[in-house]
Amino acid sequence: MPVISAFSDTCRAPDDVLACYTRIRAATGLLCRPLAPEDCVVQSMPDASPAKWHLAHTSWFFEEFVLRRFAAQYRLFDERYSFLFNSYYQTVGPMHERPRRGLLSRPTVQEILAYRAHVDEHMHELLARRGEHAELADLTTLGLHHEQQHQELLLTDIKHLFSCNPLLPAYSETRAPPRRTSPPLTWHRFDGGLADIGFAGEGFCFDNEMPRHRVFLEPFELASRPVTNEEFREFVLDGGYRRATLWLSDGWTIVQHEGWRHPLYWNDSLDAEFTLSGLRELDPQAPVCHVSYYEADAFARWAEARLPTEQEWEAAAGAVPVSGNFADSAYLHPIPAAPPAKENASHALLQIFGDVWEWTASAYAPYPGYAPLPGALGEYNGKFMVNQLVLRGGSCATPPGHARASYRNFLQPAARWQFSGARLARSVR
> How many CB atoms within 10 Å of residue 245?
8
Strand partners, 222: 188, 425
Amino acid type, 14: P
- The pLDDT, as a whole number, for residue 341 is 75
- The whole-angstrom separation of Cα 326 and Cα 171 is 17
- The pLDDT, as a whole number, for residue 340 is 82
Per-residue pLDDT band at 344 (split at 50, 70, 90): low
Mean of pLDDT values over 261-282 = 98
- The pLDDT, as a whole number, for residue 131 is 79
Cα dihedral sign, 250-408-175-337: negative
Mean of pLDDT values over 145-161 = 98
- The pLDDT, as a whole number, for residue 14 is 45
- The pLDDT, as a whole number, for residue 339 is 87
- The pLDDT, as a whole number, for residue 364 is 98
The vertex-166 CA angle with 161 and 170, nearest 5°, equals 55
* pLDDT higher than 50, residue 2: no
pTM to 2 decimals?
A: 0.95
Mean of pLDDT values over 381-386 = 95
List, as one string, the DSSP characters of 167-228.
T---SS--PPPP--PPPPP-EEEE--EEEEES--SSS---GGG-S-EEEEE--EEEESSPPB
- The whole-angstrom separation of Cα 68 and Cα 416 is 37
Instruction: Give the model confidence (pLDDT) of 225-260 as tens digits.
Output: 999 999 999 999 999 999 999 999 999 999 999 999
- The whole-angstrom separation of Cα 331 and Cα 396 is 7
* pLDDT higher than 50, residue 361: yes
- The pLDDT, as a whole number, for residue 6 is 58
Residue 83 and residue 94 in contact, taking contact as beta carbons nearer than 8 Å: yes
Instruction: Give the model confidence (pLDDT) of 14-69 as tens digits.
Output: 469 999 999 999 999 999 999 999 999 999 999 999 999 999 999 999 999 999 99
Does residue 211 have a cis bond before it (omega within 30 degrees)?
yes
The fold of 187-427 is: paralog of FGE (formylglycine-generating enzyme) (3.90.1580)
- The pLDDT, as a whole number, for residue 343 is 59
Mean of pLDDT values over 410-415 = 98
List, as one string, the DSSP characters of 238-304.
TTGGG-GGGS-HHHHHHHHHHT--SSTTB-TTSSEEEETTEEEE--TTSBP-S--HHHHHHHHHHTT
- The pLDDT, as a whole number, for residue 347 is 57
Average pLDDT, the chain: 94
* pLDDT higher than 70, residue 13: no
The vertex-24 CA angle with 160 and 314, nearest 5°, equals 70
Per-residue pLDDT band at 348 (split at 50, 70, 90): confident
Domain limits of the chain? 2-163, 187-427
Q: Who contacts 164 (Cβ-Cβ below 8 Å, separation ≥6)? A: 44
Q: How far is CA 380 from the centre of its chain?
A: 15
Q: What phi, psi does 285 have (nearest 5°)?
A: -90, -10
* pLDDT higher than 60, residue 5: no
Which of 317, 310, 327 minimizes the C-alpha distance to 402?
327
* pLDDT higher than 70, residue 351: yes
Instruction: Give the model confidence (pLDDT) of 183-233 as tens digits.
Output: 999 999 999 999 999 999 899 999 999 999 999 999 999 999 999 999 999
Instruction: Give the model confidence (pLDDT) of 96-150 as tens digits.
Output: 999 999 999 999 999 999 999 999 999 999 999 987 899 999 999 999 999 999 9
